[in-house]
Structure formats: C-alpha cells, structure tokens
C-alpha cells in the first residue's frame, strides 16, 4: 500500500505533463524542479561542494548560476520523459536530432559490439529513447528503482521501441554477452563506485572512483567505445544526440594498467563535455564520495 501511495503523485504529475502542450509542460516541470532545489538543501550543498572542487576559479555566484541551470535541465528532461509515448518517427525531429550518426554506424559495422560511454548529462533518457525509435534499439544497464510501480513505469517507457534492460548486478556478464552478439550497450560512467569495481582516475583533477568494467570488456572483445551525449541545444531549441568517433584503445598487454589508462581516457571525454556544458551535468551526485585509502572525506 505504501508503494502505491508513494507512486500516485509521480504518476499524476506524469499524466498532467503528458497532456500539456510541450512549452507549458516544460515550464511546469522546470518550476517543479526549482521548487525541489529550494526545498532540498542537502542536494544544494552537494552541488555547490562539487562545483567548488571542479571550478575553484569561479565565483560563488557563477557556481550558483550553473547549479540553477542543472535544475532547469532536469525539469526539461522530466517534461520530455513524460511525453515519450507521444514521440513518433514523424514528429521526433521537433524534439531531438542525431549529430554524428555516421560515427555510430561505422562503429556498429565493425561487428564487435558498441559501448555507448555516456553520463547523467542533458537529456540522457531522451537520447536513448529516440535512438531506439529511429531504428537503433540497444541495451541499457539500469538499477531497479526502489518503488516497484515507478520502476515498472520507467522500464516500460525505456523499452517501448525495442531497447532491453539488464540490472547493474549483471554488468560484466550482460556486457560480454551483448558484445558477442555484436549489439550496442549504453553505460553511464559518471557515478561514484567502490573498489574493486571502480578504479581511481582524475576527474577535474581529483581522483574519482570510476567503473573500469567498460574498459575491460572493450579490451576483451574489441568492442568500440563511443562517446554518446544528448545535449540541449539552446539555439536549435531541441536536443542533439551527439556521437563522437570511438575512443582509441590503449593496449600494451598489461591488463590492469590498460584498464586504468582506458578508463582515464573515457573520463577525460566526460569531463570535456561537462566543462563545455556545465549546467547539463548532475552536480548534485556525490561523485567524489569514495576516497583513496588514507584520504579524508570530501563531503
């Protein structure tokens, strides 16, 4: 019963946003996101701490401006996520377009599988959905949401056009199986990990415990690791689903050293996008929570 009660407000908000005209839905969702910003002070503190670590040269006012932009970005994503069922091949170009699709097609043509290296950035849920809608379904690594009703709703939306999901607990086995079939898997590589699943690489000059599984699977299978980011383009007034060329693999024969070097290279790509569009990344996540042995906590 409690799960149903917790789910009801979320379902109601989604239904309201779904039927509103897109500009109004975005305005409502962005306002809701900023209300959460004002009420949830812990997230505000985490965001400001992260921005202070990443951008010590910026003023507090500049960091606050970036953080406000993050909530605007999340609100926009909420509105569009609610409207996913209304997307069709005929109208989706009003919301999102491919940018660099040729890089994805070239990587896929190799036949060894493709690993989308991405982050909680911009419209990450929109990009995944639109890519499948346009005929390129792929696999998603997800964590089950605590509320089973909300989890079912989100999973049904994510898989509406052929995407498949597998739990993060099946990370290595699922990735290897998908690569053997020459499939594509999307992996969010910007969340805090703990050893041994994660290794410490620099992110904004600070050691961050980062998943190394993508690098190890790519080294084992020869899969292409393709940066994939769904960027809100203010000039276009829509999202750009940006695919960059595959990241060159570092292969010296030392598996552990290569996993570390490749993970560091992937993280540098994420950092580059975050630096370019700082108000589109999820700064309210405690990205540097896990510390190298002997280092004090940062939060």
pLDDT of 172 over the 80 cut:
no
Q: What is the pLDDT of residue 43?
A: 96
Distances in Å between the Cα of 70 and the Cα atoms of 111, 234, 240 are: 37, 14, 17
In percent, the amount of the chain with pLDDT more than 90 equals: 85
- Residue 62 half-sphere exposure toward CB, CA atoms < 13 A: 9
Q: Do the beta carbons of residue 214 and residue 185 sit within 8 Å?
A: no
- What's the pLDDT band for 151 if we cut at 50, 70, 90? confident
202-211 pLDDT, tens digit each: 999 999 999 9
Q: What is the mean pLDDT of the chain?
A: 94
88-109 pLDDT, tens digit each: 999 999 999 999 999 999 999 9
- What's the pLDDT band for 187 if we cut at 50, 70, 90? very high
Give the mean pLDDT of 65-86. Answer: 97
Give the mean pLDDT of 39-60. Answer: 97
Instruction: Give Dmax over CA atoms of the chain in angstroms.
Output: 56
Give the mean pLDDT of 256-280. Answer: 98
Strand order in the sheet with 114-118: 96-99, 238-243, 224-233, 114-118, 184-188, 139-142, 164-167
List CB contacts of 200: < 8 A, sequence separation 6 or more: 207, 208, 209, 210, 292
Give the mean pLDDT of 162-168. Answer: 86
Q: Do the beta carbons of residue 32 and residue 13 sit within 8 Å?
A: yes
216-233 pLDDT, tens digit each: 999 999 999 999 999 999
pLDDT of 6 over the 70 cut:
no
pLDDT of 8 over the 80 cut:
no
Q: How many CB atoms lie within 10 A of CB 90?
A: 7
Q: What is the pLDDT of residue 64?
A: 98
- What's the pLDDT band for 1 if we cut at 50, 70, 90? low
Give the mean pLDDT of 182-199. Answer: 94
């Amino acid at each position: 019963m409690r799960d149903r009660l917790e789910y009801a407000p979320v379902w109601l908000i989604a239904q309201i946003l779904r039927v509103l005209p897109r500009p109004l839905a975005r305005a409502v969702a962005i306002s809701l996101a900023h209300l959460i910003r004002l009420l949830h002070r812990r997230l505000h503190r985490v965001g400001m701490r992260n921005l202070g670590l990443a951008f010590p040269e910026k003023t507090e006012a500049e960091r606050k401006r970036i953080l406000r932009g993050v909530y605007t970005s999340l609100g926009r994503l909420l509105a569009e996520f609610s409207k996913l069922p209304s997307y069709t091949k005929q109208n989706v170009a009003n919301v999102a377009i491919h940018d660099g699709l040729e890089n994805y097609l070239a990587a896929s043509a190799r036949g060894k599988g493709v690993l989308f290296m991405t982050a909680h950035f911009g419209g990450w849920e929109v990009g995944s959905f639109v890519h499948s809608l346009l005929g390129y379904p792929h696999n998603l690594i997800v964590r089950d949401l605590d509320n089973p009703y909300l989890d079912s709703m989100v999973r049904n939306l994510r898989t509406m056009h052929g995407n498949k999901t597998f739990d993060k607990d099946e990370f290595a086995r699922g990735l290897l199986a998908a690569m053997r079939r020459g499939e594509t898997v999307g992996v969010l590589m910007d969340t805090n990990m703990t050893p041994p699943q994660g290794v410490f690489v620099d992110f904004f000059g600070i050691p961050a415990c980062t998943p190394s599984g993508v690098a190890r699977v790519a080294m084992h299978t020869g899969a292409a690791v393709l940066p994939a980011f769904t960027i809100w383009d203010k000039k276009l007034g829509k999202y750009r689903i940006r695919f960059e060329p595959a990241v060159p693999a570092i292969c010296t024969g030392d598996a552990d050293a290569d996993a570390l070097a490749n993970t560091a290279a992937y993280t540098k790509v994420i950092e580059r996008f975050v630096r370019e569009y700082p108000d589109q990344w999820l700064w309210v996540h405690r990205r540097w929570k896990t510390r190298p042995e002997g280092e004090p906590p940062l939060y």
